[in-house]
Structure 1
Amino acid sequence: MSWTAGPLVAFDTETTGLDVDVERIVTAALVRRGPTGTTVRTWLIDPGVAIPADATAIHGIGTAHVVAHGVAPRVALDEIASLLVDHQRAGVPVVAYNAAFDLTLLDVELARHGLRTLPERLGRPVRPVLDPLVLDRAADPGREGKRRLTDLCQHYGVRETGTLHTADVDALATLSVLDALVVAHPHLAVTTLDALHDHQVDAHRRWVDELDEERRERPYVGAGADGRWPV
């Protein structure tokens, strides 16, 4: 049976910004989808720092709201990490759009609060991971245009079920994009999870190397810029 039958667990965050070394998680979602249905778990976190106005403009969450309603980072981060580790130990792949960002930021946040990272809890690297962004780049490298989640939703005809840049909506959309990717590129469904993970490691490394060659004066500086994937 193909891995596409599930279960799969999607992970997404909304944050204070884009620098994984310094930013904080504001909201997070885990969406587990399997043969028996879909479950959604979300967290609203008071990151302990002011949320910049430009970040609030994207996800709609301001400092006053998280101070009034958010939970402490250490509690939420430990819960998120524990659930992800439980899924990984059960062989369930983590699905994340631009996984290099969300999974790296989660590990940085865990370390910041004196908690064990995902690899430390697992005793191994996080795998398998499925990242529709990396898979799409590898499957259709010549396509022009941006590849944000909203762009891939449009490209693959995925109808969004809510407002993107909300962690649970983004996680659900990521699963839907992954489904559409498999329909468009059927070889993905018959490839093992281990092979797909390794394929993405290689594909991300090639993408970074090619991008840096094209932009020698201004190399790529985002998550995964050193070529490592997913963390």
Structure 2
Amino acid sequence: MSRSVLFDTETTGLDPARGDRVIEVAALELINDLPTGRTFHTLIDPCRDIPEDASRIHGITAADVAGKPRFEDTADALLAFFGDDPLVAHNAPFDFGFLDAELARIGRPRLDPARMIDTLALAKTHFPGLPNSLDALCRRYGIDLSARTTHNALLDCKLLAEVYVQLTGGRQRGLSLVAEAEEAAMPLVAYTFTAARRPVLVVPDEAALAAHAALVARLKDPVWLMA
């Protein structure tokens, strides 16, 4: 069985080179691209202010992180949860960049970029020319966004896990993983099928259709326009 870790960060801003810091990290474990229920989550004291513009996005204020551990206090636990497995994130270069900056501050090696799986890049290959934010993908796949009033890292991970299942083939959520011992005894049985997968109907709105038309207009001899 293959293991990977899906993760998300919240930060004080957009640029670690200008002193912005990580203030929240959440991660969840995937086995064969499906969540196992194991998670990692912590708020982090960035040892600096949190601008109001950033707080409006993720809802985290200086009061929320006061007295929380610093990054150096959580790094070992985070890296242990990551292990040596692939790391999945939406706009992964952003999250990798911030964690690399935090690791560099405490003299630890940067994350291996070969471990990166960027769901934003993956979404762009599926839906070129369309909005591919986490919100847009959730709406496209019919995933409930009602709890997402701010960019909470752990909630974002859970939503992204649902999106990732769809992006990697829409695997049936009724599948149950067989325990390793059982798998050793029955090597040809990896999953138990409990229900047929229902296809997700994706209906583009006017903005999506306009974006697609603009993309097609830039292509040379697009097959969509051939009679």
Decide: shared fold, TM above 0.5.
yes
Q: Which has the larger radius of gyration?
A: 2
Q: Deviations over 1:142-192 (max 9, x none)?
A: 33xx3221111111222247325111111111111111123379xxxxxxx
Report the TM-score, using the length of structure 2 for normalisation. Answer: 0.66
- For 1:37 and 1:100, how far apart are their aligned partners in 2? 25
Corresponding letter in the other structure for 2:153: A
Structure 1 residue aligned with 2:158: 172
Structure 2 residue aligned with 1:61: 60
Structure 1 residue aligned with 2:182: none
Distance 1:136 1:114, change over 3 A: same
- Whether the 8 Å CA contact 2:5–2:86 is kept in 1: the answer is yes
Map 1:79-90 onto structure 2 (within 5 A).
79-84=77-82, 86=83, 88=84
Structure 2 residue aligned with 1:15: 11
* Bigger RCO (CA 8 Å, 6+ sep): 1
1:7 CA drift (Å): 3.1
Which structure shows the higher helix fraction?
A: 1
- For 1:79 and 1:131, how far apart are their aligned partners in 2? 23
Distance 1:179 1:82, change over 3 A: same
- Whether the 8 Å CA contact 2:28–2:35 is kept in 1: the answer is no
- Whether the 8 Å CA contact 1:8–1:95 is kept in 2: the answer is yes
- Whether the 8 Å CA contact 1:95–1:174 is kept in 2: the answer is no
Corresponding letter in the other structure for 1:14: E
- For 1:151 and 1:39, how far apart are their aligned partners in 2? 26
Q: Residue 28 in 1 paired to residue 25 in 2?
A: yes
Structure 1 residue aligned with 2:126: 139
Map 1:101-140 onto structure 2 (within 5 A).
101-118=94-111, 125-140=112-127
Corresponding letter in the other structure for 1:47: P
- For 1:161 and 1:181, how far apart are their aligned partners in 2? 21
Corresponding letter in the other structure for 2:166: A
Report the TM-score, using the length of structure 1 for normalisation. Answer: 0.65
Structure 2 residue aligned with 1:148: 133
How many residues in Structure 1 have an aligned counterpart in Structure 2?
A: 168
- Whether the 8 Å CA contact 2:40–2:81 is kept in 1: the answer is no
Q: Deviations over 1:46-103 (max 9, x none)?
A: 00001111111111111122113x112211234323432x2x2xxx321101100001
Q: Deviations over 1:107-152 (max 9, x none)?
A: 011112333322xxxxxx3433322210111222133xx3221111
- For 2:119 and 2:24, how far apart are their aligned partners in 1? 21
Identify the match of residue 73 of structure 1 among 62, 71, 74: 71
Q: Residue 41 in 1 paired to residue 20 in 2?
A: no
The percentage of aligned residue pairs carrying the same residue is 34
1:45 CA drift (Å): 0.5
RMSD value, Cα? 2.5
Unaligned residue ranges in structure 1 (runs of 5+) = 119-124, 186-231
After superposing on structure 2, the runs of 4+ consecutive aligned residues of structure 1 that deviate more than 4 Å are: none
